[in-house]
A and B are shown apart, each in its own frame.
Chain A
Amino acid sequence: MNKHSMLSEIWRRFRKNRQAVAGLIVLVLFVVVAVFAEQLAPFGYDDQDASRAMIAPCLEFPFGTDNLGRDVLSRLLYGSRYSLSIGFLAVGISVLTGGFLGVIAAYYPKLDNIIMRCMDLFMAIPQMLLAMCIVTALGSSLFNLMLAVGLSSTPKFARVVRASVLATREQEFVEAARAIGAGNWRIILHHILPNSISALIVQATLAMAGAIISASALSFLGFGIQAPMPEWGAMLSAGRKYIRTQAYLTVIPGLAIMVVVYALNVVGDGLRDCLDPRLKK
């Protein structure tokens, strides 16, 4: 089967899963919003105006305004940039670092034990804790937050990739490649990675959901992005004080996080179902 028909076959199977398609649409919308936040947002993300503070959702401010009179909708739209970039880049960091370590571990038995035992050590610390410590050490900024979230899930990816490579490595076409004299790295890049990629894509999609939640939790606890940046977790944290009077300040950013994470999870599940031939009916 050539690449093109394989992709169209995957797409055909994916399309059947209505939930996953809906999730995909939500994600595309989300990317559009993040890219065109300036054009879409009626106000700036830090347009303060004491005269219009704490207005409940109405026509002019569909999601209301916060204690400084900033439009929640605009802040939400700008905030999507953080979630998007954190989701992508943090997972990118963990895929690259974890993938590299996993491939090395799987391919060089001498290093395997050392690398995987180190990963075990890191995994002994809950991810969230590790991320908190890393952010504290590096200082809170968007990049450091991504780095912390990304690095803290490196061990997980190292494991997934290692297991997947070990499984593919034993297969005959890899033996065949070796028999015709292909070098280790050639085999890894041309034969093994393309075959482990589907497991990796699924994991990455689901990890993106996890990363967005972790990052917003860190911001919520005050370890992530700081005011006045409109990160959703930070907005929630700020709105929390007013939960008794202005509940929408807490409800809305949380809903935004949930919708994005839900979409990612649905798409991840859908991808797993259509990439995993065992689950084919």
Chain B
Amino acid sequence: MAESILEVRNLEIRYVTDEETVCAVNDISFSLEKGESIGLVGETGAGKTTTALGIMGLVPDPPGEIVGGSVLFEGQNLLRMPEKNLREIRGGKISMIFQDPMTSLNPVMTVGEQIAEVVLLHSKMSKGEARKKAMEMLEQVGIPGGRCDDYPHQFSGGMKQRVMIAIALACSPELLIADEPTTALDVTIQAQVLELMRNLKQEYGTSLILITHDLGVVAKICDKVAVVYAGEIIEYGTLKDIYTDKRHPYTIGLFDSLPDIENESAELKVIQGMVPDPSCLPEGCKFHPRCPYAEEGCKHGRMEPVSVSETHMVRCGRFRGGEV
């Protein structure tokens, strides 16, 4: 087995304001090997983005607060690392593509400057070389290098996302976190961006954390899947485990709610109820109020993860004690 590049253990993050405490991330653990990619899947507000920000050390503080757990990157705990060392990793070894390309680029700097900035920070290049590198990166994501002196407002949404990808990949990171990289884009452009990311991943051997609520996207790119619900990973396994042998009622519901073209008569299945308010999560299994199989035992205590196979884990009371 290859060495693991990232290990997230029992990560817990909260947002504390005067009025309420939002438990955004409650117990997230997963690991990622070199060159591997994992998809974090879940509904909006499940804590996926906060997890990513936690890994990057960018949880806004205040109100955010990392309460517990550890993030081991190449064996070092990022949460305990001094800011100065962390800055060397950010953008260099780990980089992130943000959700909204429209607002994630600085409107008063040219895209060339913005790409060159990260290059200058993490390599010993001169300004001229960094500019050349920026143009190269633009070419690589399919934008003519000559446009590097243009400002973000002169680009379309899809192109801005490509610029974001160019920034993220400029220093050939070992780990790339992509937070809903295609959600804000048109379908045709979505496919292009995904293709681009897959190619780049193969070329550089970059590990990838892909955050999305789109199961189709995950199937195309990822090796592993973690289904996130209310700040917890409720099911975790290889792509095959999750797509062919899903166990958790929520995962099953998630897949069932995809429209099925082949079976026209089938009604669209919907998971009953609403995503719980993260400022007052239910006790016991966080999914129990919506779960069709919920029993008395699901309503209390802590739901611990259960192994289905060596690669497959599920957090559900029905599989407690090993019987599957």
The interface of chain A, by Cβ under 8 A from chain B, is 281
Contact = CB atoms under 8 A, between A and B. Distances in A.
A190 B17 CA distance: 38
A281 B18 CA distance: 9
Contacts of B18: 281
B18 to A, nearest CB: 8
Nearest to A281: B17
Nearest to A16: B18
A281 B17 CA distance: 9
Interface residues of B, number: 3
A269 B181 CA distance: 40
> Interface on chain A toward B: helix, strand, loop, or mixed SS?
loop
A104 to B, nearest CB: 34
Interface of B: 17-19
A-B interface, 3 closest residue pairs, ranked by CB to CB distance from nearest: A281-B17, A281-B18, A281-B19
B261 to A, nearest CB: 35
Nearest to B19: A281
A281 B20 CA distance: 11
Contacts of B19: 281
A281 B15 CA distance: 13
Contacts of A281: 17-19
Contacts of B17: 281
A281 B63 CA distance: 11
Nearest to B18: A281
3 contacts: A281-B17, A281-B18, A281-B19
A264 B19 CA distance: 29
A281 B19 CA distance: 10
A26 B17 CA distance: 31
A103 to B, nearest CB: 33
A4 B17 CA distance: 27
B172 to A, nearest CB: 40
B64 to A, nearest CB: 14
A281 B22 CA distance: 14
A9 to B, nearest CB: 14
A12 B56 CA distance: 38
B63 to A, nearest CB: 9
A280 to B, nearest CB: 11
B17 to A, nearest CB: 6
A281 B60 CA distance: 14
B275 to A, nearest CB: 22
A102 B17 CA distance: 40
B103 to A, nearest CB: 15
Nearest to B63: A281
A27 B18 CA distance: 29
A276 B19 CA distance: 19
